[in-house]
Amino acid sequence: MSCIFCKIATQEIPAKVVYEDEKVIAFHDINPQAPYHILVIPKKHLSTLLELTEEDKELIGHIYLVINQIAKDLGFAERGYRVVVNCKEEAGQTVFHLHFHVLAGRGMGWPPG
């Protein structure tokens, strides 16, 4: 398995982990685009959002609850945050293991670039 995020999930590659349970791991992005930039990933390998199936519904709901918990724990829940998923190359996806970007700590522009 050559997937870098699978290796982070199994701790073969180090990361600054902020949350972990049996289904999900969350860690600081190595190239942060905001004062807070956390990546939340399922431990199960899914390349893109398009690979989601009916059996992943609970997992995705769980990920959003984990994001809320991280926002409270790290202290940016009150000010707010942005969740971004890039799906395939044209959207800017570079790592093909599903991940949710959680960005916070500065004003965000709209529309995104």
**3-state secondary structure string across 23-76:** CEEEEECCCCCCCEEEEEEECCCCCCHHHCCHHHHHHHHHHHHHHHHHHHHHCC
Residue type, 53: T
Pick from 97, 100, 102, 104 the residue near Zn ion by CB under 5 A.
97
Pick from 30, 60, 65, 108 the residue near ligand AMP by CB under 6 A.
30
Catalytic residue numbers? 99
Q: Is residue 29 a contact residue for ligand AMP (CB under 6 A)?
A: yes
92 binds, among Zn ion, ligand AMP, none (CB under 5 to 8 A by kind): ligand AMP
Residues interacting with Zn ion, by CB under 5 A?
3, 5-6, 45, 97
